[in-house]
Every structure is written in structure tokens, then in C-alpha cells.
Amino acid sequence: MGPKHFLNFEKISNQEFVSIIERGIELKNSNETEKTLKGKILGLVFEQPSTRTRVSFEVGINNLGGSSIFLSGSELQLSRGEPISDTAKVLSSMLDVIVLRTDNHEKLEIFSQNSSVPIINGLTNSFHPCQIMADLMTFREVSKGKNLEKVCWIGDGNNVCNSYIEAAKLLNFELSIFCPKGYEPNANILESSKKFVSLATNKEDALRNADIVTTDVWTSMSSNTKLKDRKKIFKEFFVSPDDMKKAKDKSIFLHCLPAHRGEEITVDMLEDQSSKVWVQAENRMHIQKAILEYLLLD
């Protein structure tokens, strides 16, 4: 039996998902973190820029007593044509767990198939599961355990949106997506969770009764559409404090960051009382610690 990976939510049970979130909250509220991963070494293989994912994993593994090594894609022999499978075999012989951040999900699959240690998806063009874990930890924390019934997604049907679709099926909540025509989420992922997911034809329907309202930048790192064109296509797909009033009472606004004020959000959205974005960003660190424990502890 091979190592346990964290590539998306396909092989994670509802019980495992909830227990990781609960552990994240427990770690956050602990005055003194037990060194549960003492001696463990985390490798961070990043082919794309990162702020929150990199820092949260580096600080997280150190807090738990382990250490980390950062490996930029441009510094590895991958940049000179070494097969992904060869790199995976070598790195996994020296490390205990690896986070891979890449623009190609197929690379992540190949890497995990050739690794002898757990692989974590630090973001691909298809999924961003660590982000969704932090989002739903944030909701559970600020709502005092209230049941999540509906999430509203406004904007590009990108990798983060795809992970929300998987989470909707896993946790049995409604996901309403309001996106421009031609920018819908992956059709296969959408089909697999169609019972829980709908494509809204207007913003008001998407917002109605939502517990969480969330969005992302108009142009993702893996986008092949120029920003100038996207600004025209996405001009109506933004979130404002007025929009939040159309969602459920005490709904929260989330954004995976970085945010572009004046584009997918109004200039005042992050400072609105409904915004829990800074709590969400901090929670990346706590949930990463819980994910590492989930993969490395029996």
C-alpha cells in the first residue's frame, strides 16, 4: 500500500475532512503546540509564486517540531528536462512529505505516483484543496459550528472553484456559481457533483441565502486570457458590501488572496464587517499543520 496523498478531495471521507478542520481549530487555540512532527522534513517544490501557501507550510512544520526545505522549480533539474518521475523518486527518498505547486495537475499526478512519501497539492491549474480547507475552517470557527448550507461563488470557474465543487459533494452543501459564459468550471468535475452545484443566471440568485460569499481574481496564474479582455468580460462579476446584504444574515465574505481591489471586489470589500479574509489567511497556517499531521501520523 502506497503513501496517503492530498491531491484533491476525491479520496477523503466526510469524517476525515471534518476531523482535519477540527484539529486545525484545536491547534489554533492551543497555547503550547505539541511537537508531533519532530524530526520530519517537508520539501516545498514550487514552480509558481506563492505567499500564503509557502509561509503557512514552512511555519507550520516548524511549529510542530519539523523542518522544511524550499526548492524552486527553476533551481531543480526539472528545469533542464529531468523527468518528473525521476525527481519524485529522488526527493521522496530524502524527505518525509512534499508540497508541489505547479500549473499542470498531470505533473502532480505523475509526481505522486512515483513518490514513496505523501504529496500535497499546493495548487495546480485544476484544484486548490488546502485553500478550501482553510475557508471551511474559517466558517466553522466564526459561525460557532453552524451548519453550512450554501456557498456563493462569483467569478471565474477556476481551480479554487473546482475544489469548492468537490467540497460541496463531500459535505452536502449547495454551491451556486455565477460566472461569465465560457468561463464555467471543469465540465467533468461539475458533472460529478451536479446534485449539489448550480450555475446561476444572475448575481441575486447566486447570493440568496448564502452562508459564504467568495471569489478570486479575474486572471489566475494559469489563465491564457489577457487581463484587458478579462476586464471587459468580468466587469459585472464582482462582490461589494451591498451584495453581501443580499446573502443570508451574518453571511461571511472570503477571498483566497491576493485581491485586486476595483476588479473582483470593490475597494471597500475587504474592510466590510462581513469580511473574514484576514482570519481566513491566518487559518492557512493552522489547517496546513492539521493536514501534515493527517498525512504523517498514524
Active-site hit among 23, 96, 105, 131: 131
The answer for 257, left when phi > 0, alpha when psi is -120 to 50, beta otherwise, is: left
10 Å Cβ neighbour count for 166?
22
Residues 190, 199: Cα–Cα separation, whole Å: 10
Active-site hit among 216, 230, 243, 280: 216
Catalytic residue flag (residue 286)? no
Active-site hit among 52, 128, 230, 255: 128
Active-site hit among 23, 140, 284, 286: 284
| Helices 129-142/159-171 angle, 10° precision | 60
Residues 241, 243: Cα–Cα separation, whole Å: 5
Active-site hit among 211, 256, 286, 288: 256
Reading the block at residue 50, the C-alpha cell is 506563492
- From the list 161, 163, 151, the residue with the least C-alpha distance to 7 is 163
Catalytic residue flag (residue 131)? yes
b/e string for 72-101 if b means 16 or more Cβ within 10 A? ebeeeebeeeeebeebbeebbeebbbbbbb
Catalytic residue flag (residue 216)? yes
Catalytic residue flag (residue 208)? no
Q: Do 150 and 213 meet the contact criterion of CB atoms below 8 Å apart? A: no
Active-site hit among 5, 23, 101, 286: 101
The answer for 18, left when phi > 0, alpha when psi is -120 to 50, beta otherwise, is: alpha
What are the residue numbers of the active site? 101, 128, 131, 216, 256, 284
